Amino acid sequence: MEATLVVQKYGGTSVADVAKIKNVAKRVLEAKKKIDHVVVVVSALGDTTDQLAGLACQITKSPPEREMDMLLSTGEQVSMALLAMALKEMGQEAVSMTGQQVEILTDTGHTRAKIRHVGARRVIQELRKGKVVVVAGFQGVSSEGEITTLGRGGSDTTAVALAAALHADYCEICTDVEGVFTADPRIAPDAHKIDRISFEEMLEMAATGAKVLQSRSVEYARNYNVPLYVRSSFNEAPGTWVKSEGEIMERPIISAVTHDFSEAKVTVIGVPDKPGAAADLFGSLADANVNIDMIIQNVSDHARTDISFTVSKEDLQKVKEVSEKLVGSIGADGISYDDKIARITLVGAGMRTHPGIAAGMFKTLADNKINIEMISTSPIKISCVVGMEDGETAVRELHKYFNL
């Protein structure tokens, strides 16, 4: 594709050590030969973010979120500076910038802030001087002048937001796989690369666990119509285009099967079956900035009912604090937690017009003696929660059954 401005993003594995940073610098130089302006967004080296979070957890069970952002944002600053040095060493003028310098303005939601505006004035100035601009991913600055981070995997969103602000031709997500696959290639060896996929389907995939793209980045790309090209940082194999549905020609019924092992199930037992209980519970969780995913309420028996919902394991501590306080006031009998669950999802735009997909999914799980604990659907996806021990088998068997 002919292009004048492209934003490239390199993930943690792609910049894990000095040799890999030099490899990225070479790839940026190659891109710069063909494209007038190149902006590069980098993640922290390897698993730096996990290591930093681990240090915090050795100090406290619930780290203050402002300090967490101060800590985690340091990771990306290491890689941006090293990459800018590597580029200069190879004769390419380059300058690194933090989220604040780029004017990535966010709300005040520490550890999962949302981008409100991208200024990028200095980026444009530096690009005009012929430099490559290297930007620290995952970080921004809040309306209160505080450093914020954009949630795990947030460098994808930095890249897309910059691409939108700079009217880039497209945004290239360079990672450790060759593109978006029909299932996580680490779990389903038969998975194959998808050439093109719509924003809508990619959004469902990302939201249900395909961590190759952070779901917020796909949302952003869809809203600003920024084409995404997901490809390997290590070879030249063609990757996956993520574009608007109108531009996608082939349309399989099912595009992919995804899995998510990062959630936990919470059940509030014996909730009085009267108006207001769910509103109190979920209202308080929302006030604590907890994202709820699936929700089911069982059939009421003797005027009492169980309500189950899933949340990210990262939020479980917060959920415990909020809901245990509420059990008494809403008159429930108790609360239980299960963090050994897997959510398995079929995604495909063709589901809208093809009945029988859900039946095929349930039958495949039943044939493999996998019990379904929760179900949720949207027009283009079906999710089932199963026991964690059955998760990988479910992915492989569904991938086989639906001939992906």
**Residues binding ligand ASP (CB under 6 A):** 11-12, 43-44, 49, 75, 137-138, 152-156
Which residues, listed in sequence order, are joined to residue 149 by a DSSP beta bridge? Answer: 139
State yes or no: residue 190 binds ligand ADP (CB under 6 A).
no
Instruction: Tell me how far, at minimum, the Cβ of 329 lies from ligand ADP, in Å.
Output: 40
Give 12 or 209: the residue with its C-beta nearer to ligand ASP.
12
Q: Does 184 bind ligand ADP (CB under 6 A)?
A: yes
Alpha helices in 90-214 (DSSP H): 99-102, 121-128, 155-165, 199-207
Residue 300 in contact with residue 285, Cβ under 8 Å? no
Select from ligand ADP, ligand ASP, Mg ion, none the partner in contact with residue 154, using the beta carbon and a kind-dependent cut-off of 5 to 8 Å: ligand ASP
Q: Which two tokens stand for residue 182?
A: 């029909």
Interacting residue with ligand ADP among 120, 133, 136, 181 (CB under 6 A): 181
| 207 binding ligand ADP? (CB under 6 A) | no
Q: How many residues bind ligand ADP (CB under 6 A)?
A: 18
Q: Does 132 bind ligand ADP (CB under 6 A)?
A: no
CB nearer to ligand ASP: give 154 or 391. Answer: 154
Distance CA 375, CA 352 (A): 17
Helix (H, G, I), strand (E, B) or coil at 133: strand
Angle at 109 between CA 147 and CA 176, to 5 degrees: 75
Position among 210, 307, 370, 386 found at the interface with ligand ADP (CB under 6 A) = 210
Q: Which residue has the CB atom at the shortest distance from ligand ADP?
A: 11
- Rank residues 172 and 184 by Cβ distance to ligand ADP and give the closer one: 184
Q: In what order do the strands lie in the sheet with 170-175?
A: 94-97, 132-136, 37-42, 5-10, 170-175, 228-232, 240-243, 196-198
3-class SS of residue 86 = helix
Q: What is the C-alpha to C-alpha distance for residues 310 and 295, in angstroms, rounded to an integer?
A: 7
| The two three-digit tokens of residue 156, written as one number | 């994808």
Q: Are residues 160 and 217 in contact, defined by beta-carbon separation less than 8 angstroms?
A: yes
Q: CA 56 to CA 42: how far, in whole Å?
A: 23
Window 245-284: contact mask with ligand ADP (x via CB under 6 A): -----------x----------------------------
Assign 262 to helix, strand or coil: coil
Of positions 6, 7, 11, 294, contacts ligand ADP by CB under 6 A? 11
| Residue 175 touching ligand ADP (CB under 6 A) | yes
Binding footprint of ligand ADP on the chain (CB under 6 A): 11-14, 43, 153, 175-177, 180-181, 183-184, 186, 210-212, 256
